Amino acid sequence: MKKFAVIGSPISHSLSPQIHSLFAEQADIQISYEAIEIIENDFDSKVKQLFEDGYSGLNVTLPLKEKAFHYADKKSDCALLAESVNTLFLDDSRVCGETTDGQGLLLDLESKGIELEGSNVLILGAGGSARSVIPSLLSCNINSLSIANRTPEKAAELVNIHKQNNPEINQIEIDEKIDTEIDLVVNSTSAGTLGEEMTMPEGIFGLKTKSYDLSYSKDETPFNMIAKRSGITEAYDGLGMLVNQAALSFEIWHNFKPDVDGIELQLRT
């Protein structure tokens, strides 16, 4: 039986084992898929050991996606742009790295009827999560992509990486007042997960703004609670993105495209 795992820290609450076993049922294949706790300092030795022990593929979650990017011998174009890897597998004993986060987000937005072309998108946060989804968002012919971060230098760095090929990217100060209508606000900060308050630019929630929190929880995320209190009616968390990025990883490993319909709902109940 082929062996797979998701690695990260903390990892015990990961839904990836459940998602991949649902996909394996659809594909009618037998796999094992575990959640394995690995801390950043142990990444190289532990991952080397897992592949030596016969694991065929690994999903990588927080805080290890940048480590995985540097570890992979061969990186996809998408991973190179995002400087992030969430899927590792072997090809002729070389470790290949791919990121499916950005495409997972796009697929989920599409399934929720959120049209990106021509829209104004604002990302809150400029850490690894923002970095990993920005190239995909920029591939959608959006009108503008603004980044606001508590530490402005990090937002400026992300803007600099992409500005030359994507002039629609720009930075907004965290204490700025916004006067353009934002179509989609994406929260990529870890404030909610850390249980911290977060500041955000004034005026980001307009009449037609939708909100998408990259993190997810059984209950409404703290960010989506703020969005709803500000009048937002369409607020989504990142569970749909998680399902879609998992489906894309599954397809890479098993050459089978899982049907994601209904999986998000099933995980919520």
Phi-psi category of 246—alpha, beta or left, where left has phi over 0 and alpha has psi -120 to 50? Answer: alpha
Instruction: Please pick, from the candidates 14, 149, 224, 245, the single residue that binds ligand ATR as defined by CB under 6 A.
Output: 149
Q: Smallest Cα–Cα separation from 14: which of 41, 31, 38, 30?
A: 38
10 Å CB burial of residue 261 (0-12, 13-18, 19+) is exposed
Q: Which of residues 129-148 bind ligand ATR (CB under 6 A)?
A: 129
Given 15, 27, 36, 62, the residue binding ligand ATR (CB under 6 A):
62
Q: What are the φ/ψ torsions at residue 256 (nearest 5 degrees)?
A: -140, 130
- When asked if residue 221 is in the footprint of ligand ATR (CB under 6 A), the reply is no
> Residue 78 CB, nearest distance to ligand ATR (Å)?
17
Nearer to ligand ATR, 131 or 210 (CB): 131
- Answer for the pair 100, 88: CB distance below 8 angstroms, yes or no: no
Question: Site residues for ligand ATR, window 187-206 (CB under 6 A)?
Answer: 188-191, 194, 196, 198
DSSP 221-242: -HHHHHHHHTT-S-EE-THHHH
Cβ-based neighbour number of residue 71 at 10 Å:
18
Taking CB under 6 A as the rule, does residue 225 contact ligand ATR? no
Tell me if residue 65 is catalytic.
yes
Q: Helix, strand or coil for residue 156?
A: helix
Given the structure tokens 């969005």, which residue do they identify?
227
Q: Is the dihedral of CA 189, 190, 193, 195 positive or negative?
A: negative
Of 237-266, binders to ligand ATR (CB under 6 A) are: none
Min separation Cβ 148 and ligand ATR, Å: 9
For residue 130, the minimal CB distance to ligand ATR (Å) is 6
Binding ligand ATR (rule: CB under 6 A), the pick from 126, 148, 172, 182 is 126
Binds ligand ATR by CB under 6 A, chosen from 128, 222, 238, 240: 128
Question: In the bound complex, which residue of the shown chain has the CB atom lying closest to ligand ATR?
Answer: 127
List the catalytic residues: 65
The residue ranges that bind ligand ATR (CB under 6 A) are 62, 125-129, 149-151, 154, 188-191, 194, 196, 198
